[in-house]
Chains A and B, each alone.
Chain A
Amino acid sequence: MIILSLNNLTKSFGGLVAVAGVSFEVERGDVMGLIGPNGAGKTTVFNLITGASRPDDGHIFFDGRRLERLKPHRIVHLGLARTFQTIRLFPRLSVLENVLSGAHCRMKSSIISSLLRLPAQRREEKAALGRAMAELRFVGLDGLWRAEAGSLSYGDQRRLEIARALASEPKLIVLDEPAGGMNERETLELRDLVARIRAKDITVILIEHDMSFVMEVCNKIVVMENGAVIARGSPDSVRRDQRVVEAYLGADED
């Protein structure tokens, strides 16, 4: 079953065409890697999917809904969560509160019930705390729930971003360079984490430069260059693709 499909997506900034007619599909249960040289347009594609910017042309279908005119929070509400390439936690708030920010869109208490602390609001608050703690345990940060998010190590901050995204109960999670800045041990743990996210029946798309990581965790890969898709398929087929090799290593001029 196709959960996400991009149809001829185009986006330019001024005269620069960042994404030129990109189309691909993601099936439910996939772990899809989006790779390509710097400036290929990968993050722009992510920003279009998550509503951070609007495409000039083309369509995005997610779970039977069109996304390209929706605000980011609506897209999260539909079940598509993201992490940011440059970490964007709330650094002065606690680890627990950062995860609660993801749970926010699944909570229903109104302003009035919050102002008067009605019983239903208190029940919901308690349930949300439990859920947030469960997500922290899932990524292995439950011992740090009181800490200030900005005080965590780089790798822990990346995992906290993932916990925050998971707290919004997504069907699909979009990870922008999750292994960026991680050491070898942390990357190994991340590989395990992605596998466990997949086991929860959550589809994953990720951008990553660490090729061995991508080849290990992804069952499908899309390669972009200069704003266009140049190859797609299984890790093995992509590895052997002549155009991919040229894009990464440079074409032989003769």
Chain B
Amino acid sequence: MTGRFPLPGPGRIAWAALAILFFCLPLMGLPPNRVGLLNHIGLYAVLALSLNVILGQAGMFHMGHAAFFAVGAYATAILNTVCGWSILATLPVAGAAAGLFAALVAAPIIHLRGDYLLLVTIGIVEIVRIFLINDPFGLTGGANGLINIARPVILGFKITRPPHFFYLIWGFAAVSMLLFHWLENSRFGRALNFIREDTVAAEGVGVDTARYKLMAFVIGAVWAGFAGTLYASYMRTISPGSFSFWESVVLFMIVILGGSGNQKGVLAGAFLVVGLPEVFRFLKDSRLMFFGAALVLMMIFRPQGLFPPRRRTYAPPPEAS
């Protein structure tokens, strides 16, 4: 936030160049299966960025993010296949449904600290998964899930092939990063950091800690719901298996490994945690062993994550400079 039009430094230019190069990848003849992998990483990135608000910014150990993702995906799938809504029209509803669900389940547990919250959020993700398997009101299709979900149509253009989805998913990720960056640099973002640093002190200086914790959950869940819409229309088939506890662990790992509180770090974490095991697929079953070893080494030598959280910058007030 150094003025409205900051002069870009070399770091900024390098990141911009990297971003432009990345967005050109599908045009440069990248094979479809590789584009598919990037799409997958993009979905995880959006989810991890939304988890970052809760885990990275507010410091709440939440390991049930797949539950909110599931609510969004099923909201889209049901509205599309049963009610015949277009995918785009289901997006706000999926976000709202996930946000409402988060408000309901988080309200009674928001005061729990650290590992206690962690345990309850693990419970939530399991409850949702089992609920979906039980096919309530014949809506969720049980263990088989829902099929024949439509493709999104934007301004008359039907998004079908992996490169199309690449631009949809990564465009959404880019917009999310911008909005979350703004949110981070506001009284809301600061309030979450005060809560993370010292909840008692935050309450004592006038921050409504219970409300802001809940809001962090709701914002994170709304975005996970949006990601659910993208996922449902990308896969065309969803089932409870896609929203397991393991998915929550992966998201948790992305945020912690990347650098909780730092969006660039979270992005790097998504590439690392989702991308690397695929790249090393030729190692067959032993790849998970290498992956595990990498995690352990990471936690020993760089526990703060790839990109540790950065301090906010403020425009120097004229009187002070």
Residues 139-182 of B at the A interface (beta carbon under 8 Å): 179, 182
Q: C-beta contact mask, A108-132 vs B, less than 8 Å → 1, else 0?
A: 0101001111000100010011100
Task: Given A97-B190, A114-B186, A133-B319, decide whether A88 and B215 contact each other with a Cβ distance below 8 A.
Answer: no
| A178 interfacial contact with B, CB 8 Å | no
| A239 interfacial contact with B, CB 8 Å | no
Q: C-beta contact mask, A123-157 vs B, less than 8 Å → 1, else 0?
A: 00100111001000100001101000000000000
Min C-beta distance of B260 to chain A, whole Å: 13
Residues in A with CB closer than 8 Å to B301 are none
Interface of A is mostly: helix
Residues in A with CB closer than 8 Å to B319 are 133, 137, 142
Interface of B is mostly: helix
Residues in A with CB closer than 8 Å to B219 are 111, 115
B215 x A129 contact (CB < 8 A)? no
A77 x B179 contact (CB < 8 A)? no
Q: C-beta contact mask, A94-106 vs B, less than 8 Å → 1, else 0?
A: 1011001110110
A129 x B203 contact (CB < 8 A)? no
Of listed A72, A128, A130, A133, residue having the most chain B CB within 10 A: A72
Number of A-B residue pairs at CB separation under 8 A: 111
Residues in A with CB closer than 8 Å to B208 are 71, 73
| A90 interfacial contact with B, CB 8 Å | yes
| B201 interfacial contact with A, CB 8 Å | yes
Q: How far is the CA of A121 from the CA of B315 in the complex (A)?
A: 16
Ordered nearest first, which 4 A-B pairs have the shortest CB separation? A105-B206, A114-B186, A76-B206, A88-B201
Q: What are 12 sample pairs from A and B whose C-beta atoms fall under 8 A apart? A: A71-B208, A72-B204, A73-B209, A90-B193, A90-B198, A101-B194, A101-B206, A101-B207, A104-B206, A115-B183, A117-B186, A143-B320
Binding site for B on A (CB under 8 A): 50, 52, 71-73, 76-77, 81-82, 84, 88-94, 96-97, 100-102, 104-105, 107, 109, 111, 114-117, 121, 125, 128-130, 133, 137, 142-143, 145, 164-165, 168
